[in-house]
């Protein structure tokens, strides 16, 4: 059982009459007889006259978050911060309408394989690499900074060459590469490749590279994030060296190419401390062959005798000799 009770209140003319005329208000209440607590529910309240009743200004907005400035305490319609709309948003790049175009490098992070991946970049002024172990030649005297699209800078710690191995087994250098320790990706500058005579052509989502002799180098397809990356296998130069260790040869060199008979005598009589037992090797010393050439002595008698000038000429092939003679000849 429900009963409605309406209460009308008429205000008399007099104080408060003003511009709004007579003030009249009415309130309607719903009485729910089924409610055990006998609660009265206020449905509607209206006041006519001067002004209107303002909404409750004591509402707690401390947990309300603004969608514009991301701060708490107000709605987006009440925000005084400038409107900053994001047109496009990717995993790693957010483009904002700031009236300035900037070329940024975006890459997709994957596990493994990044060490040998090189990204072609038209906005890079130079080749760059962040791994020092990939350089076979590195000049660390040259220092500088590299600027990026977000106005950040990182230090350049040197410049050098990187040895790579081609698919056909041949080796080639990537020269004039900046060593940037904080670089996470290797970058190939398209401008630097053009300066060296390479022909670069992009068509049908592919990037083709040819050398100055029009020999085909590589064809790189475009990836999902609109980047061109190539997997280059670097190689490390190795110097193979064979060393023949023999104490006899070592002491032969230490004593200025002394003959092995003399070394055996020194060892037998223990005239040199630390000199081991000398074994006469079968090989010949090239230095001794060149430096110990001797000239045969003139014979006491000659079978022939010159009868006219310039018939017999003696020549000394040794020379030139310094210092000069007394007559500077």
Give tens-digit pLDDT for 242-256.
666 778 888 888 898
Mean pLDDT score, 68-91: 69
CA distance 326 to 134: 60
pLDDT confidence of residue 70:
84
* CA–CA dist 217, 167 (Å, integer): 10
Same domain for 132 and 203?
Answer: yes
Supply 195's token pair: 């300066």
Quick one: which of 100, 235, 93, 95 has its CA closest to 163?
Answer: 235
Structure confidence at residue 18 (pLDDT) = 42
pLDDT number for residue 206 = 92
> How much of the chain, in percent, has pLDDT values that exceed 70?
67
Out of 57-61, 68-72, 114-118, least confident range: 57-61
Mean of per-residue pLDDT scores for the chain? 73
Tell me the per-residue pLDDT of 271-286, one tens digit each, with 9 for 90 and over: 998 888 888 877 888 8
pLDDT band at 179 (very low <50, low <70, confident <90, very high): very high
Contacting residues for 292 by C-beta, under 8 A, at least 6 apart: 257
137: CATH:
2.40.70
Tokens for 158, please give them.
């040197």
Same domain assignment for residues 189 and 255: no
Both 152 and 223 in one domain: the answer is: yes
- 145 with 168, same domain: the answer is yes
In a domain, 111, yes or no: no
DSSP line for 186-220: EEEEHHHHHHTT-EEEEETTEEEEE-TT--EEEEE
Q: Compute the average pLDDT of residues 186-215.
A: 89
**Whether residue 4 has pLDDT greater than 80:** no
pLDDT digits 0-9 by tens, 18-53: 444 444 444 444 444 444 444 444 444 444 444 444
The answer to whether residue 220 sits within a structural domain is yes
Asked whether 217 and 210 are in contact (CB, 8 A), the reply is yes
Can you tell me the distance from the alpha carbon of 285 to that of 122, in angstroms, rounded to the nearest whole number?
59
Residue 264: closest CA among 280, 287, 288: 280
Which residue reads 């911060």 in tokens?
Answer: 81
Question: What is the domain extent for residue 275?
Answer: 242-280
Q: How many domains does the chain have?
A: 3
CB 223 within 8 A of CB 254: no
Looking at the structure, tell me whether residues 230 and 255 fall in a common domain: no
Q: What is the pTM of this model?
A: 0.40
DSSP state of 168: T
Residue at 160 is within a domain: yes
Q: Is 184 contained in some domain?
A: yes
Read off the pLDDT of residues 121-154 as tens digits, 9 standing for 90 and up: 888 888 999 888 888 888 888 788 888 777 788 8
**257 domain residue, yes or no:** yes
Biggest CA-to-CA distance, the chain: 169
| Mean pLDDT of the region 203-209 | 91
Identify which has the larger pLDDT, 94 or 150: 150
Q: Is 194 inside any structural domain?
A: yes
Q: Is residue 63 part of a domain?
A: no
Is the confidence at residue 313, as pLDDT, over 60?
A: yes
Question: Are residues 30 and 8 located together in one domain of the fold?
Answer: yes
């Amino acid at each position: 059982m429900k009963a409605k009770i309406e209460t009308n209140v008429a205000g008399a003319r007099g104080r408060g009459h003003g511009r709004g005329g007579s003030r009249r208000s009415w309130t309607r209440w719903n009485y729910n007889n089924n409610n055990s607590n006998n609660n009265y529910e206020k449905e509607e309240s209206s006041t006519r006259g001067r002004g209107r009743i303002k909404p409750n200004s004591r509402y707690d907005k401390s947990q309300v978050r603004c969608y514009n400035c991301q701060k708490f305490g107000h709605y987006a319609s009440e925000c005084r911060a400038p409107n900053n709309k994001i047109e496009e948003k990717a995993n790693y790049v957010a483009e904002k309408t700031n009236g300035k175009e900037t070329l940024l490098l975006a890459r997709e992070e994957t596990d493994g394989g990044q060490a040998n991946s090189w990204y072609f970049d038209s906005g890079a002024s130079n080749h760059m690499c962040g791994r020092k172990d990939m350089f076979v030649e590195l000049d660390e005297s040259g220092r500088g900074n590299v600027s990026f699209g977000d106005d950040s800078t990182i230090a350049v710690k040197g410049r050098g060459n990187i040895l790579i191995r081609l698919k056909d087994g041949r080796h080639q250098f990537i020269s004039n590469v900046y060593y940037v320790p904080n670089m996470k990706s290797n970058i190939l500058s398209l401008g630097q490749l053009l300066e060296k005579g390479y022909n670069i052509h992009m068509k049908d989502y592919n990037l083709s590279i040819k050398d100055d002799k029009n020999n085909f180098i590589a064809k790189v397809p475009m990836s999902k994030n609109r980047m061109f990356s190539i997997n280059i296998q670097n190689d490390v130069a190795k110097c193979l060296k064979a060393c023949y260790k023999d104490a006899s040869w070592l002491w032969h060199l230490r004593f200025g190419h002394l003959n092995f008979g003399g070394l055996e005598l020194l060892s037998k009589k223990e005239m040199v401390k630390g000199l081991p037992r000398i074994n006469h090797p079968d090989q010949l010393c090239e230095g001794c062959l060149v430096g110990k050439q001797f000239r045969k002595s003139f014979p006491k008698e000659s079978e022939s005798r010159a009868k006219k000038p310039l018939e017999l000429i003696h020549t000394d092939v040794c020379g030139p000799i310094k210092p000069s003679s007394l007559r500077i000849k």
